[in-house]
């Protein structure tokens, strides 16, 4: 099933500003937080010395606001990153609600990066950072199929072939004859989401799914 949606609905499903889930995603790991803290401290110092050089007599009243903004980068950085990703998705001119099923499902171990270290004897040791990912092939009655890959979690073990899935599709064509990008995937039977990045307003997407079901039932009756 593929149902075109209006531009207004598309922009409702892809928010301008970061949602709570998007903020958490972009917050990252402890190392990401430490990196943002270092940038924040450096920003405060750079802003102060630049303003002191450019306007030494007025630095006391010019510096506080930009220094506070720079010093809080550790906090607003994830908001900026998530909002930028949302903006990129919102550039697609057309969108549609798609419903299909899981055609195939399998797990792979992917090499994220290679880490080079030196042991006590001075020998180069190369270790691999492995990430386990869940891969799904999704399709519908029209013959359309696509594959998605997301970081694996134990909760995903309950997903099986034949289960219904839903997602938002994005296209450059008004008839949605080809897809340029797909969103997070929703598994209604399990009330479960699969995504690498949660680009949707998920509450609004579920409401849209239920409204489409009601509309189709009313047409059928």
Structural domain boundaries enclosing 188: 2-7+93-220
Are 29 and 85 found together in one domain? yes
171-213 pLDDT, tens digit each:
999 988 888 999 999 999 999 999 888 999 999 999 999 998 8
Q: Kindly tell me the sign of the dihedral angle through the C-alpha atoms of 64, 70, 72, 78.
A: positive
Asked whether residue 188 is assigned to any structural domain, the reply reads yes
- What is the length of the chain? 221
140-166 pLDDT, tens digit each:
988 888 899 998 888 899 999 999 999
The pTM of the full predicted model, rounded to 2 decimals, is 0.81
Q: Residue 97 class from Cβ within 10 Å (0-12 exposed, 13-18 middle, 19+ buried)?
A: buried
For residue 221, is pLDDT > 90?
no
**Token pair 């405060």 in the structure block, residue:** 44
User: Which three-class secondary structure state does DSSP give residue 170?
Assistant: strand
101-122 pLDDT, tens digit each:
999 999 988 766 666 666 666 6
Asked whether residue 208 is assigned to any structural domain, the reply reads yes
Q: Total domain count for the chain?
A: 2
Asked whether residue 20 is assigned to any structural domain, the reply reads no
Residue 187 · residue 165 · CB < 8 Å: yes
Residue 144 · residue 176 · CB < 8 Å: no
Are 127 and 206 found together in one domain? yes
Are 85 and 56 found together in one domain? yes
């Amino acid at each position: 099933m593929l149902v075109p949606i209006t531009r207004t609905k598309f922009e409702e499903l892809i928010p301008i500003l970061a949602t709570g889930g998007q903020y958490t995603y972009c917050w990252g790991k402890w190392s990401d937080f430490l990196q943002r803290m270092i940038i924040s401290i450096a920003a405060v110092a750079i802003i102060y010395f630049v303003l002191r050089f450019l306007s030494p007599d007025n630095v006391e009243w010019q510096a506080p606001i930009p220094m506070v903004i720079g010093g809080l980068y550790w906090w607003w950085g994830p908001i900026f990153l998530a909002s930028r990703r949302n903006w990129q998705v919102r550039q697609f001119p057309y969108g549609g609600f798609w419903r299909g099923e899981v055609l195939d499902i399998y797990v792979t171990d992917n090499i994220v990066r290679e880490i080079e270290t030196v042991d006590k004897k001075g020998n180069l040791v190369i270790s691999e950072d492995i990430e386990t990912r869940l891969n799904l092939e999704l399709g519908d009655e029209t013959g359309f199929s696509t594959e998605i890959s997301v970081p694996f979690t134990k909760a995903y073990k309950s997903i099986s072939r034949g289960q219904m899935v839903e997602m938002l599709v994005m296209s450059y064509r008004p008839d949605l004859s080809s897809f340029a990008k797909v969103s997070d995937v929703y598994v209604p039977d399990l009330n479960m989401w699969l995504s690498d990045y949660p680009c949707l307003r998920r509450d609004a997407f579920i409401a849209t799914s239920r409204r489409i079901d009601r509309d189709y039932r009313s047409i059928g009756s």
